[in-house]
Amino acid sequence: MKYPYAGTEVSPEKTQVQIITLLKSYGIEAQLTTPRPNNQDQTTIDFIHRVKVAGIEKQIMFHFKTPVLNKTVKQYNPKTYRTETMTVNDEPAAWRLLYWYIKLKLRAIQWNLATYEQEFMSRIAAQLEDGRMVTLGEGLEKMLANGTLEHLALAQKG
């Protein structure tokens, strides 16, 4: 199955600007983060949403990575003096997909189908001491994999 936006001519940089502009139109601060060595191999986008909890304003950070959409291309390899078939990430399509994903979620919130927290819960982010950014969704996946989620649920009963 072919993934959406394959063959798009919109550059990743243009789509990144569109995402930041979209978020700003909803009053949301956004920040683009480029890949850091030994930390992540994808460009990410983070945004902050302010909410009031018990009358106190809190900031929640949401963290997104572009999806990995592999495509096969033929490129000239100057080392071998040949054209070779390679698998690369289709960054333009990945950024378009992320743009529309965020836009549709924001529209669902705008139309009162859901709240920010409901739409973006798995993307709520925290930065670890070593500088890595992790999301609530990634943490829950690990808990499910090692069986500790059941312990959390049992602890909430009492």
C-alpha to C-alpha distance for 95 and 5, rounded to whole angstroms: 9
Q: What would the pLDDT profile of 15-24 be if each residue is shown by its tens digit? A: 999 999 999 9
- The residue assigned the tokens 């990144």 is 16
| Per-residue pLDDT, 10 | 96
Percentage of the residues of the chain whose pLDDT score is greater than 70: 87
More confident: 137 or 54? 137
Chain CA centroid to CA 35, Å: 13
What's the number of CA atoms in the CB half-sphere (13 Å) around residue 119? 18
The pLDDT-based confidence of 94 (bands split at 50, 70, 90) is: very high
Q: What does the domain layout of the chain look like in residue ranges?
A: 12-157
Q: Quick one: average pLDDT of 93-110?
A: 94
| DSSP code for 121 | G
Mean pLDDT for the chain? Answer: 82
* 26-84 confidence digits (pLDDT tens): 888 887 776 655 444 667 888 887 777 778 887 888 888 888 888 888 888 888 899 98
Helix (H) or strand (E) holding 136: helix 136-146
- In the block, tokens 């018990």 appear at 54
Please provide the distance, in angstroms rounded to a whole number, between the alpha carbons at the two ends of the chain. 48
Amino acid identity, position 106: L
